[in-house]
Structure 1
Amino acid sequence: MSGNETETVRLELDWERFMADNDMEWVVKPVSWDEGAFIGNGLIGAMIYGEENARKRNVLRFVAGRTDVTATRTDCAGFRPRVPIGELDLELEGMIYHPTSLRLDLWHAELRGVLTTTRGEVRVRAFAHSEAEVMAIELETTEGEADARLVWYANSEVDPVLKHADGINMNQYIPAETVDKTAGSGGISFSVQRYAPSESEGCVTAWKEIRASEGRRKIWYVSIVNGHDERAKEQAAAAVRKASENGFGAWVGAHRRWWHRYYRQSFVSIPDGRLESFYWIQMYKLASATRADRPLIDNQGPWLAPTPWPGIWFNMNVQMSYSPVYAANRLEIGESLVRALDENREHLTANVPEPFRHDSAGLGRSCSFDLKSEVDDEVGNLAWICHNVWRHYRYSMDDEMLRNVLYPILRGSVNYYIHLLEEEEDGRLHLPPTISPEYGSFMRTRVRDCHYDLALLRWGCETLLAISERLGEADPLCWKWLHVLDRLAPLPVDETGFMIGRDTPLAYGHRHFSHLLAVFPLHLIGCDKEEDRELIATSFRHWIGKEGDLRGFSLTGAASIAATLGWGNEALRLLQALLLIVKPNTMYKEAGPVIETPLAGAEAIHDMLLQSWGGTIRIFPAVPDEWREAAFHDLRAEGAFLVSAVRSEGRTRFIRVKSLAGEPCIVRTGWTGVVRWRKAGTAVPEATVDLGTQQGEIALNLQKGEEAILYPDGELPDLRIRPVSPSARPVRYFGGHKPWRLYGFPFRDRE
């Protein structure tokens, strides 16, 4: 291809084939939450696995969850935690044996498999419908398994052999429940669970079995509704009735079309096949965990398991869970967070002490979906959440959301900080002792001028001023924000880099990057000045060098900081270390399962390919030396730009930038010498920029809807975007534990 002035970038991709190599696969029955197959539609879902106990080797479990089912604690004060619901058990005539195989088809968002038993064979398909609050399980059996059946067990009815298969639950609150199983009209059955002592808390599970007229095929439709009154029963029944009365093929088609549209919002391909598969599984996980009109992502999504954290944590977890939605161009997923804050503003106000409620807002460490969580000594959590919403704004440029949601909530968060400031003898404004998340947790270590809070306060004041200017509204508090920025104590630093706070160096292993928030994700300090770059590098090395107490989320934060520094090789090593910690199904667990760490790993991959903080779009800013090839299409950047780029033979071949909002655009290409650019799809004469020997920046003047193609001096390159061809790709590595696939066997060609 050359010289065609109207040539445009296009993605050439067989999506179904590409995604097939990223599917999760089990060559034997999964036997724990750690390696189970998971399905979900942002509200209801199931983790699917079995058990090796001889009494239950004939069972495949569909451990069900609905995100918003909570219960009031009777054992102590605290927020309403998530509680387990129950499970649908596929009870077979024989014991599940070999050969048995399962595969989670990412492209179609459904599990398919063949269960071989000592009596016969069962073909199974399962999915949580993308547009209905219904899960479907389809079975087809041989004669020996003709009596295979699905049975619903409320949590209190689950056999202890199964309930304690992943360990006895010592931490999570489990309410006493009463269970009433009834049959309704039209073949629909119900399990009504009531949680004592509440008169309103509980859930209804409704199901219906449809037997096909031909062969031994049957389909179960299952819906779970929060609440246990007649209205909840009717809602569950209506969902099952509507699903079961539709033609199954058309209903499945609607489910698949939703997922196909979702995946096509952006494309990423990298030469590390294992990381590429990991990335696409996280994209599946995101849309399985929440949607625009569903509850925000808590610590577990629909896949609740025994945990000491059955709720929402705001000192890192929610922020990291949502971190990949912005660059991935999946902003509708992030709308669940924006909506949750907007709908619970009065609780954010009530979370701060009464004297400050007239103008302030806050958010404690943990809570339920109502966001009721009083602020104690961990002050900055609401401000950090506001940074996520600010990213949502910057990637969408939605001024209405900025004015009506972010501005008032961030204003309240900053006001609370300002109430806490104290002027000392040095003339500076200082913060009283507060907590830097996760540092000295068991000792409740408090530090003056905590980096976490100073960084968030500075970012908050700068952002409020920027919002006021953007909206053209002179806020009467502008003078106060300027005063704070002028007089606020500096971030504490010693010879090891950033400190936890004043008089508190990083003295021992710290799993959180709360003392580096100014670097990532706030980007208050960049790498353009050599002294800033050296400070970041020193802080990073000291933190990681302490090593003790590092966790999976430490590695994701470290990978993003390394990417900020342009250290692609280091970022890759950190992500490869992460893959040793995540579970075979890409879930993550410490004392209990938590969802944020793998999702933040996807954001770190974005940071290696595209960064857009500080008003500059950076293309391939931190690719490791071994990534000679890489490609992405329609990743999103701040300023509401869609960006595509291809790298081959170690060089960036072209960059495409499309403006969705007509904002100013500066692109750091990584090229030197002469660079050409033209507006795509038109005969506009190309512009030429000589970057000299520096990897300079190019300013593009793009109106809304316009796009530009940039390329090094010479002919217009091939503008097709295709998957890169990784060498020694471990096909379908995730799912069941299959470490041998890293080493090239079994021997098979890439499909």
Structure 2
Amino acid sequence: MIDANLDWASFLGRHDLTWSVKPVSWDEGAFIGNGWIGAMAYSEEHRLKRNVLRFVLGRTDVTAKRPAGGYPPRVPIGELHLELAGWLYQPYSMRLDLWNAELRAEIATTAGSVKLRAFVHGREMAMAVELETSGSEESAAFQWYPYPEVDPILKNADGYNLNPYIPESEVIRSLRNGIHIGTETFKPAGSGGCTTAWIERKLAAASAGYDERRVLLLSIQNGSDETAVQKAVEVVKHAGGQPWDEWVKSHRSWWHAYFPQSFVSIPDTMLEGFYWIQMYKLASTTRAEGMIMDNQGPWMTSTPWPGVWFNMNVQMAYSPVYASNRLDIGLSLTKAFSERFDQLILNVPETFRADSAGLGRSCSYDLAANVDDEKGNLLWVCHNIWRQYRHSMDDKLLKELLYPLLQRAVQYHVHLLEEGDDGKLHLPPTISPEYGSFLKLTVPDAHYDLALLRWGCETLLRISERMEQVEADKAERGAGRRMWAEVLERLTPLPTDETGYMIGRGQPLEFGHRHFSHLMAVFPLHLVSGEAEEEKRLILRSLRHWLSREGDLRGFTFTGAASIAAVLGLGDEALTYLKSLVHLLKPNTMYKEAGPVIESPLAGAESIQDMLLQSWGEWIRIFPAVPGEWRDTVFHDLRTEGAFLVSAIRSNGETKWIRVKSLAGEPCRLITDMNGRVGLRAAEGKAVLRELGGGRFELDIARGGEAILYAEAAASGAQLADDLSLQIRPVPAEPRLCGYFGGRKPWRLFGLSLSANAGSLVDEIVK
């Protein structure tokens, strides 16, 4: 029914990351990755290193065991350098091509020029750097350096490495059938290691103006034993044995299938570009079979957090996966928790292990993190798994992972409940994440834990009802239902005062708080909706008080605030928070505090989704919080709870039509601001629309069915297709904000002329 034949190369091309001045830090670098292997490319200003283009390498599963104990952290593994004959100079033209997931550059040096293309293959564990040279740059050479051998000048330029543990290592270089091998074995023995293998090969004729063309192919494997060496060598050998153009085509084909899974276009060109860079970042960071998204993805650099954090970071990193219809990315999270289910049981005290499970704040990929005063982290992860289920309606996921895991996470909290003098059930003092961290502050009835426990009990009741539909009920399920219902009935209310939601009982929000842990009931749990006037006032009062304290506000503060404002339908306010976030991002859209933390920009992508489409509480909300200045907006195949694909067009401030496709045959309830009478068109008439009033509708549609709702005023005749455009096309872009990210370009925000005719601008100034 819909024409979604988009020119993806052109559309994404307007948001490619671009550099006209060489990047000289991780904050400005060009990043490439395939979910396992990654590289951040940038240069250096030190006079002894101005001839070097660095590819700082990473592989997400390379960790090192610490002799003194503690979780095994991620560790830096080394760099690939392009060492040129001359200094990197101006002009400098570099572009990260999103559609093809390739870095391309044309670089002038004091000795000649070079042209390069780099990517990490979308389907294979190999990285490629294609190089063309001219003049004296024929002598340009690739050099591999394990981390211990990286020049101190470059390490100093990156800043003091706050990684709590960097192991000593033994490095052995060897050559096998023309393939170079570097094995790095961490000390003491048994601590881990990694293997890098690479080969150079010449390619066919170079481009006009260049004399030579060659390519370096490189693979990184976790481990330094013979098995790892063989894997690395085989990957490089296979890559080198393929016709170059065919191998590149295979890489691109993965990405060309990935991006069109959904489409979003908004009139804010800078934010539109930011959104699509996050979609690129998601698939560069992990894949269905990959590791959990940790704090830095495959772009390891100096950090105090070389692990996996669960009091916000992981949950927020995965947050844009669901609505964007990229559920394969979310499988990396469900896979990890399914494979390490037994470890989650071991994380709670032995007396609770018969029926409970939990997760501490931080750990490695083994999920070995004993629960301390911060109790609710596993429940929050369960909420992500719930979202994965609700957007897929995969009953196998529900039965085999979510239901048993959520029961144990809830039961751990039930063990902690105590009856108070008021007859209510209360929680003992626990940590509300990020509030009073240095004071090690704990509070009774913390909003964070109470809200998560309430959500967990409500969700278990709902799951139990669902499972009765797919299999026979069991006696113990009935007992569980009675307990969850009793907890909900007797659980103490969320603490509030005149400023709104409190951190916990007796603890108001007294100073700056970067986390929304005291607002979990609003977002992301949606226990309160703001539909009732009193509830809306409470949420709004809480939101305004939270931001008014200023203090330690961070990137994820503003993503949470934007999504909360979107819950209330405050699109203009949500946009203000998102624009605040952009000012805290690095030029390449990465985010860093004491070290890199990947979740804040990714959560910013979810905030944009929340402005366009929300699905919670059994309702799908179309354009629920569109800012007034977004007069024209379009999205296609965003996914909702109940496994619906939704497309919609907003033109001149009015919703023109909505397309709904059912993937699972679930009940469909919609909220829209569509003006006037709403018409329905469905294939073979296999859909029924019932208007409930107030912009609410029920749509009966079978699995695989597709229907279009449209404002009848927008279609005057009997043939909808003749009167209403059903085309999905991008919103026109503002040229000065295309290619905004990459190198730092703050002047573009202020509308400075980008005309090639600079003289006309001078004339205007003189006049």
Q: Against the structure 1 CA distance between its residues 683 and 493, is the aligned structure 2 distance closer, same or farther, given a 3 Å change threshold?
A: closer
Equivalent residue pairs, number: 736
In 2, the alpha carbon distance for the partners of 1:183 and 1:353 equals 51
SS in 2 for 1:579: helix
User: Paired residue for 2:704?
Assistant: 705
User: Paired residue for 1:3?
Assistant: none
Contact 1:450 1:500 in 2 (8 A): yes
Q: Against the structure 1 CA distance between its residues 466 and 687, is the aligned structure 2 distance closer, same or farther, given a 3 Å change threshold?
A: closer
Contact 2:689 2:700 in 1 (8 A): no
Establish whether residue 19 from structure 1 lines up as the match of residue 12 from structure 2: yes
Structural mapping, 1:531-546, within 5 Å? 531-546=534-549
User: Paired residue for 2:95?
Assistant: 103
Task: Kindly provide the CA deviation profile for residues 448-470 of structure 1, in whole angstroms up to 9, marking residues without a partner as x.
Answer: 00000000000001111111110
Q: Which runs of 5+ in 2 are unaligned?
A: 206-210, 758-767
In 2, the alpha carbon distance for the partners of 1:483 and 1:548 equals 40
Establish whether residue 555 from structure 1 lines up as the match of residue 558 from structure 2: yes
Contact 1:50 1:61 in 2 (8 A): yes
In 1, the alpha carbon distance for the partners of 2:518 and 2:756 equals 47
User: Paired residue for 2:188?
Assistant: 197
Contact 1:678 1:687 in 2 (8 A): no
User: Paired residue for 1:93?
Assistant: 85
Contact 1:25 1:104 in 2 (8 A): yes
User: Paired residue for 1:722?
Assistant: 729
Range that drifts further, 473-482 or 576-585: 473-482
Q: Against the structure 1 CA distance between its residues 748 and 387, is the aligned structure 2 distance closer, same or farther, given a 3 Å change threshold?
A: farther
State which of 594, 597, 609 in structure 2 corresponds to 1:594. 597
In 2, the alpha carbon distance for the partners of 1:419 and 1:687 equals 47
Structural mapping, 1:69-88, within 5 Å? 69-74=62-67, 76-88=68-80
Contact 1:420 1:431 in 2 (8 A): yes
State which of 161, 172, 175 in structure 1 corresponds to 2:167. 175
Contact 2:655 2:675 in 1 (8 A): no
SS in 2 for 1:605: helix
Contact 1:676 1:688 in 2 (8 A): no
In 1, the alpha carbon distance for the partners of 2:64 and 2:381 equals 25
Contact 2:134 2:212 in 1 (8 A): yes
Establish whether residue 415 from structure 1 lines up as the match of residue 426 from structure 2: no
State which of 727, 747, 750 in structure 1 corresponds to 2:755. 747
For 2:71, the aligned partner's letter is: F
Task: Kindly provide the CA deviation profile for residues 588-643 of structure 1, in whole angstroms up to 9, marking residues without a partner as x.
Answer: 00011110000000000000000011010001000000000000000001000000
Superposition deviation, residue 688 in structure 1: 7.5
SS in 2 for 1:392: helix
User: Paired residue for 2:50?
Assistant: 57
State which of 440, 445, 448 in structure 2 corresponds to 1:452. 448
State which of 108, 125, 139 in structure 1 corresponds to 2:131. 139
Structural mapping, 1:325-474, within 5 Å? 325-472=321-468, 473-474=473-474
In 1, the alpha carbon distance for the partners of 2:391 and 2:597 equals 27
Contact 1:136 1:221 in 2 (8 A): yes
User: Paired residue for 1:318?
Assistant: 314
TM-score normalised according to structure 1 size:
0.96
For 2:587, the aligned partner's letter is: P
Contact 2:688 2:699 in 1 (8 A): no
Task: Kindly provide the CA deviation profile for residues 546-567 of structure 1, in whole angstroms up to 9, marking residues without a partner as x.
Answer: 1111001000000000000100
User: Paired residue for 1:162?
Assistant: 154
Task: Kindly provide the CA deviation profile for residues 336-373 of structure 1, in whole angstroms up to 9, marking residues without a partner as x.
Answer: 00000000011100000010111110000000000000
User: Paired residue for 1:509?
Assistant: 512
TM-score normalised according to structure 2 size:
0.94
Range that drifts further, 469-478 or 118-127: 469-478
In 2, the alpha carbon distance for the partners of 1:371 and 1:685 equals 46
Superposition deviation, residue 12 in structure 1: 3.6
User: Paired residue for 2:614?
Assistant: 611
Q: Against the structure 1 CA distance between its residues 738 and 685, is the aligned structure 2 distance closer, same or farther, given a 3 Å change threshold?
A: closer
Superposition deviation, residue 745 in structure 1: 3.6
Contact 1:119 1:144 in 2 (8 A): yes
User: Paired residue for 2:762?
Assistant: none
User: Paired residue for 2:533?
Assistant: 530
**Alpha-carbon RMSD:** 1.4
Contact 1:675 1:688 in 2 (8 A): no
SS in 2 for 1:142: strand
SS in 2 for 1:626: coil
SS in 2 for 1:562: helix
Contact 2:687 2:700 in 1 (8 A): no
In 2, the alpha carbon distance for the partners of 1:198 and 1:70 equals 14
For 1:210, the aligned partner's letter is: R
SS in 1 for 2:464: helix
Q: Which runs of 5+ in 1 are unaligned?
A: 1-7
Q: Against the structure 1 CA distance between its residues 432 and 254, is the aligned structure 2 distance closer, same or farther, given a 3 Å change threshold?
A: same
SS in 2 for 1:507: coil
For 2:40, the aligned partner's letter is: M
SS in 2 for 1:204: strand
Establish whether residue 682 from structure 1 lines up as the match of residue 684 from structure 2: yes
Superposition deviation, residue 28 in structure 1: 1.5
State which of 216, 223, 232 in structure 2 corresponds to 1:236. 232
Superposition deviation, residue 711 in structure 1: 1.0
User: Paired residue for 1:150?
Assistant: 142
Superposition deviation, residue 689 in structure 1: 4.3
Contact 1:86 1:155 in 2 (8 A): yes
Superposition deviation, residue 648 in structure 1: 0.6
In 1, the alpha carbon distance for the partners of 2:389 and 2:692 equals 33
For 2:407, the aligned partner's letter is: R
Kindly indicate whether structure 1 or structure 2 has the higher relative contact order, using CA contacts under 8 Å at least 6 residues apart.
Answer: 1
Superposition deviation, residue 678 in structure 1: 2.0
In 2, the alpha carbon distance for the partners of 1:459 and 1:510 equals 23
User: Paired residue for 1:519?
Assistant: 522
User: Paired residue for 1:287?
Assistant: 283
